[in-house]
Homo-oligomer: A and B are copies of this chain.
Amino acid sequence: MTDKEVSMSTTQSAPTHPTVAPLQPPTRYLFGPGPTMVDPRVYQAISKPIVGHLDPYFIQVMQDVQELLKPVYGAENGSTLVISGTGSAGMEAAIANFVDPGSKFAVFANGYFSDRLTEMAKRNGAIVVRSEKAWGETFTDAEAAEFIHREKPNVVGYVHAETSTGALQPGHAICAAAHEAGALVIGDCVTSLGGLPVEFDKTGIDIAYSCSQKGLSCPPGLSPFALSQRATDWLNQRTTPSRSWYLDLKLIHDYSTVSHRYHHTVPISMFYALREALLVIAEEGIENRWERHRRINKLFAEQIEGMGLGFHVPAAHRIPTLNTVLVPKGVDDAKVRKRLLQGPGIEIAGGFGPLAGKIFRIGLMGPLATEEKVKFFLDEFKRALSAEGYSF
C-alpha cells in the first residue's frame, strides 16, 4: 500500500458548516504574562503524525523531554517528568502528592498564585498557615527563616516568579530553613522556567512545577515537573495513595521513567511540541537565553522609565521576563489593552485582585525578547497610551 493509498482524509471539500466558520485565528503578538509566542519549529513539531503512548518511539520522546528539562531546571541531581495538564495541574499534583490531609503547609503569600496554593491545600484537607505581604512585596531571608522556624510545617510553598505582581522571590533561605525544620519545599516556577535561572538543585527546591506556555515558548497544555531525591524518597515511602489518581506521581513516574507501564494516554502532540521547544532552547544555550532575557528586559525597563512610566516592583525584586508597569493616572488600562488588541493585535494583561486597574503586565519572553520586538511593542504602546489621553 503506497502512501497515497493510506491517506487518512475522509473529507475533501472546504468546510461548509452552517454556523461554525473555518478556523482562522487572528495574528496576535502575545506580550502578556502567557501564553507567549511560539517558535515556528514548535508548530511544525506539534503537527507531526502521532504514534501510540506505548510506542518505543514515544517512550524515547518522553525520555528526551526529561533529559532536556534538566539543564533548564538546573535539576541535574533531581528527576524530571511531565504532567498531562497545564501549570495549574502541576500545582495540584504538587499539593495532592505532598501536602496530605492533616499535614501543616506553610505558604509565603504575596500574590494570586500563593492564594491558589492555599486554596488547593485547604481543599486537600491540610492545615494552612500563611505569612502574608502586600501583592508585589517579597520576603527577606530573615523573615523566611523566622516564619518556618516558628511554624515547623511539614511542607513549605512559595512562588518563585509571581505572575500576578511581577515580583521575584528568591528561594535559598526558604529552602535552607525548611530543611533545617525537616520540611519539604514546593516552588512554583510557572513564570520563571526557561526565562531565568531556577537553579533547582542549588536552591534546594524539592518539588517544582511549571508550564509550557511562558518561558519555554510552547503552547499551553503540559506541566514540566522536577523532584529532588528527598522528594522522591518521601514519595516512595508513602503508604496511603494520593487522593488524586490522575495526578498520582508514583504512577506517572513509573510510566514515564521506570516500567513505561500504561497509566493514561498522554498528550502525544503536546510532547512533540515541548520536545522541540526544549531543543530550540538547548541550541541557543540556556545561559545565553537567560542573558538575552536579562539584557532585553533591562533595555525595556530603561525605555519605560524614559517614557516617564514607573514599575510596581523595585528593580532589585523584578521578574526579568514579566514587567508590571504602573498605569499612569487618568488612563483606563482596559481601553489601552483593547486598543492594542484590536489595532496591531498585541495582547498584554491588566492587574487583578488588589492590582486591578493599577498595572499593565507585559511579558518579553522567548521570541519576543529581542531589541526589534521591544521597539515594535513600545511604538504601539506609546501610540495607544497617547490615544487614551496620556501625554509623554
Report the Cα distance A61→B23, complex, angstroms.
Answer: 8
Report the Cα distance A91→B246, complex, angstroms.
Answer: 9
CB-nearest residue of chain B to A342 = B56
Other-chain contact of A284, B11, B68, B124 (Cβ < 8 Å)? B11
* Chain B residues in 8 Å Cβ range of A263: 88
Taking chain A's interface residues, is the majority helix, strand, or loop, or is none over half, making it mixed? loop
Q: Let me know if A259 is at the binding interface, CB within 8 A.
A: no
Write out, one digit per residue, whether chain A residues 352-365 have a CB within 8 A of any chain B CB (1) or not (0). Answer: 10000000000000
Q: Take A211-B265, A283-B13 as given contacts and tell me if A53 and B35 are in contact as well, using a CB distance cutoff of 8 Å.
A: yes
Q: What total of chain A residues lie within 8 Å of the partner, measured CB to CB?
A: 102
B245–A120 touching, CB < 8 Å: yes
A50–B35 touching, CB < 8 Å: yes
CB distance from A381 to the nearest CB of B (A): 13
Write out, one digit per residue, whether chain A residues 14-44 have a CB within 8 A of any chain B CB (1) or not (0). Answer: 0111011011111111101011011111011
Other-chain contact of A8, B19, B39, B64, B120 (Cβ < 8 Å)? B39
* Chain B residues in 8 Å Cβ range of A64: 20
Q: Let me know if A92 is at the binding interface, CB within 8 A.
A: yes
Task: State the copy count for this chain.
Answer: 2
B23–A275 touching, CB < 8 Å: yes
A41–B245 touching, CB < 8 Å: no
* Chain B residues in 8 Å Cβ range of A17: 68, 279, 282-283
Q: Take A40-B9, A55-B347 as given contacts and tell me if A264 and B25 are in contact as well, using a CB distance cutoff of 8 Å.
A: no
Report the Cα distance A87→B1, complex, angstroms.
Answer: 33
CB distance from A102 to the nearest CB of B (A): 13
A44–B41 touching, CB < 8 Å: no
Write out, one digit per residue, whether chain A residues 65-103 have a CB within 8 A of any chain B CB (1) or not (0). Answer: 001100000000000000011111101100000000000
B47–A43 touching, CB < 8 Å: yes
Q: Let me know if A46 is at the binding interface, CB within 8 A.
A: yes
